[in-house]
Structure 1
């Protein structure tokens, strides 16, 4: 059978425990058709791409992000603030979001993710000053051809109710629940190889009512959806939950019906040891965001420690307002450095970090059968990595370790659903320049800067 695309002369990281030092990958119909080594016959193909000996991996998976925040990237008044300081400083600006701003920020975020080797991303959109903002995100994803897992975030507690955001970005409970159903019925595609999926994602335990948490869990059961929220990110969250709910954040998470295999949480920095074991046993996954955590200075989850207790861990870029970049390669490298810094040089390898960025992310999204690996039948989402000859000089024995120990690395070729969206290190997105102009216009408007 003739393949649509054949990548050859590659060092292929197919999956954990399966690497092909010199091989080829055949793609047909948006799927991995077959893989083989240089001693086996590759099928004929309509197009051939030589990796020229470079490393090929599954596309990386981003399992926690806030794409709209790149409109306030590196915003000077709050760049060196704590989590709550930058939230209170930026919420009034994010109140200016509309469909045009969200389309532009989503498009730019996806282009940036593609350059960092990401082929599937969720987004946690929890600020809704205007309707149909997630619709605009799907419009951007579908225009690009990016595999997108939207999460319908929400907040109900404004400053007037003891929360952090202004009233203009929170919503009524019934509005949230009705729009959640609308988005699921309009966009969620549970079929194999889907490009559009939806999960439910109240922002945090301290930003929504107990009803929203409980009803979201019920809707997830009804529509067979995944659930996402921030959990145990800041010590102040523990204080809040004890004062308001009379329990720890994890205990409250369990009380509202979220401790199940449907759920993945962001950060998970401050749980107790026995709480980790309980949620791991329930099937909950975690997204570590090492760059964001380190920039805010609030600690970070112990990736290998969580895995040792049975909890799958993926990686996320988090929002540009805190971390200011969206490179999953950088997150994987930082996760590796942070893990070894905290637990010693024998605690974590580059393969562990790459596994978190691929298989770990797929576990968070409940999508391990089709993404996060390059086994035959998987979605054809992959990356041919590039680095300068200077950066790789002397790295002769282990290209997987070199990917994260050397650098910087970027995607030379990024393929999503069998389609090259980055080639020769450049985005293959004809509309990008026009969107960048619109993004600048929207960023100036939201930051209240004159042209």
Structure 2
């Protein structure tokens, strides 16, 4: 180890290195954007910048595996909040047709700031409405301006209401447009190198929103370009009915028939696969983004997370869209995973450490980055969170800091570090442009919601 490191986080109440190692009073050193060492108190190296955890819990950064950030422009939109999934979508699609580059940029900037405040250091985003060009480009610019670790996914819809789908024609595209722009974005922005801040994946919205031909062609393009694949799958009972009527099979069967059953794929929700389908997904290495708050707010089912993990399926945590979840806190989602897991399976079905493992190492597996994200072993990306909760909330919680982190609270990120850069300090984003972006966001959100 170099005699002086770039950043040292020390005096942790407990440093969680990964699912196997925890260090009371520990420290972590970061050099060149990567973890260079971890250790016990008394062995800390010299450092250019020192952050005191001051007796707080320190964990790897949480990782968001499913989101629709642009939807924070219609957050808690009253006419849509009490409908079914399909009712909710058909209400909001006409409003989202107003999305342009400025709206995409400001929603991404605000969404990433919110994610950082909730302890998230890496997020994907599933942008699947494209009424105008350049929307994913704008999101990537926001991530670059912030220094956020971001997996952009080029979503798509080709089946409008005129073709038996749900969205209006204004937010759909032709197969040729989708494939051409997908390849352009990968070549322009995808960084395949270790430690990359920006990556791109391909992500048709769902089996019922694009054609069979596009599903097949997208899987083939991802193979050729060596990028990952993402979509919604088995999210709603109505999806079963739709796929049976349109394709003569269940959603997972259709997913498999179109070439998506591979370990480069992770899917959102996956609530309704049967036992045999779950085993096939596990055998193929398909990952699942579990979105607890969205499941509960929309009022559907929830993924069988314990059974999936027992089968070896990579399971991560997702916020889902800001309009359905209405927040972008990975702490809240991780706590929701703990509660839902115990609600489904009893008190032995999920611990706080299980939930933390899902939100870190499980999520990293979904994104294909298990070697460098989701843990703080030397060589990992220097992404971590120092957690804070009010002393009143933690009074009496003396025996287990990890259980207290999710059982007590609310907790917030006191310090969030991405690639060795401090992006949240003392609970506040270190983003000088944020105030102006928030003003722009309010203006744009008002203009969009006034279309209703």
TM range, normalised to the smaller chain? Answer: over 0.9
Instruction: Note the alpha carbon deviations across 1:73-95, whole angstroms, 9 max, x for none.
Output: 00000111110011000000000
Per the alignment, residue 333 of structure 2 pairs with 331
CA separation of 1:95 and 1:220: change in aligned 2, threshold 3 A: same
Instruction: Note the alpha carbon deviations across 1:13-48, whole angstroms, 9 max, x for none.
Output: 000011001111111111101000014x22211111
Per the alignment, residue 161 of structure 1 pairs with 163
Per the alignment, residue 24 of structure 1 pairs with 27
Distance in 1 of aligned mates of 2:271 and 2:434: 36
Query: What TM-score, normalized by structure 2, do the two folds share?
Result: 0.98
- Offset at residue 243 of structure 1 (A): 1.1
Matches within 5 A, 1:20-419: 20-39=23-42, 41-419=43-421
- Offset at residue 53 of structure 1 (A): 1.1
Give the RMSD, CA atoms, in angstroms: 0.9
Distance in 1 of aligned mates of 2:165 and 2:323: 19
Instruction: Note the alpha carbon deviations across 1:322-374, whole angstroms, 9 max, x for none.
Output: 11001000000011001101110011100000000000110110000111000
Instruction: Note the alpha carbon deviations across 1:173-209, whole angstroms, 9 max, x for none.
Output: 0000000000000000000110100000000000000
Distance in 2 of aligned mates of 1:368 and 1:362: 5
**Runs of 4+ residues deviating >6 angstroms:** none
Distance in 2 of aligned mates of 1:392 and 1:13: 19
CA separation of 1:174 and 1:379: change in aligned 2, threshold 3 A: same
Per the alignment, residue 15 of structure 1 pairs with 18
Per the alignment, residue 429 of structure 1 pairs with 431
What's the secondary structure of 2:325's corresponding residue? coil
Distance in 2 of aligned mates of 1:412 and 1:80: 34
- Offset at residue 109 of structure 1 (A): 0.3
Instruction: Note the alpha carbon deviations across 1:375-394, whole angstroms, 9 max, x for none.
Output: 00100000000000000001
Where structure 2 has 5 or more consecutive residues not aligned to the other structure, the ranges are none
Query: What TM-score, normalized by structure 1, do the two folds share?
Result: 0.99
Distance in 2 of aligned mates of 1:8 and 1:446: 46
Count of residues in correspondence between the two structures: 449
What's the secondary structure of 1:17's corresponding residue? coil
Distance in 2 of aligned mates of 1:232 and 1:444: 33
Where structure 1 has 5 or more consecutive residues not aligned to the other structure, the ranges are none
Q: Is the contact between residue 54 and residue 386 of structure 1 (CA under 8 Å) also seen in structure 2?
A: yes
Instruction: Note the alpha carbon deviations across 1:203-225, whole angstroms, 9 max, x for none.
Output: 00000001110011101110111
- Offset at residue 449 of structure 1 (A): 6.8
What's the secondary structure of 1:3's corresponding residue? strand
Q: Is the contact between residue 277 and residue 310 of structure 1 (CA under 8 Å) also seen in structure 2?
A: no
Distance in 2 of aligned mates of 1:49 and 1:416: 14
